[in-house]
Structure 1
């Protein structure tokens, strides 16, 4: 049986709903289960999800997948900066 810390969801990315959904898809293609937190409220009322309504959607993974997921998220963020 896995310990609780391995099952606790952790945030690896916060961004726009579109970018968060794209990263979630990339993670799942890599075999890392992920889910989006605040994806609907971020679209309807972003100022309720985050101060100023900026970076409103979180990508969450299980604690056991944090290291692998964070590495993918860092590459994703770097690619966003390079394209901007």
Structure 2
């Protein structure tokens, strides 16, 4: 990575608390640092953080880890039947 390349957070997943916890665990196991946004509010008052309360818990990773994170999430979504 170039020293002048900017590092910034990228949202890679949004869903309910259960799915977000599973994805965060899988990212941790793949040695990808991630953080969860709206974890508490997404459960207590999901309509306040997302339209209609859908996809209220979000996961972010560094843009440097984006492609690897997408692969991990895609495998999870296929296994759980969330996306084909």
Q: What's the counterpart of residue 26 of structure 1?
A: 26
Structure 2 gap segments, 5+ residues each: none
Change (3 A) 1:2 1:62: farther
Structure 1 gap segments, 5+ residues each: none
Question: Please, what TM-score do these two structures have when normalized by structure 1?
Answer: 0.88
Q: What's the counterpart of residue 50 of structure 1?
A: 50
**C-alpha distance in 2 between matches for 1:60 and 1:10:** 5
State the Cα distance separating 1:2 from its structure 2 match: 5.8
After TM superposition, the runs of 4+ consecutive aligned structure 1 residues lying more than 2 A away are none
Q: As a proportion of its length, which structure holds more helix? A: 1
- RMSD over aligned CA atoms reads 1.3
Count of residue correspondences: 80
Question: Please, what TM-score do these two structures have when normalized by structure 2?
Answer: 0.88
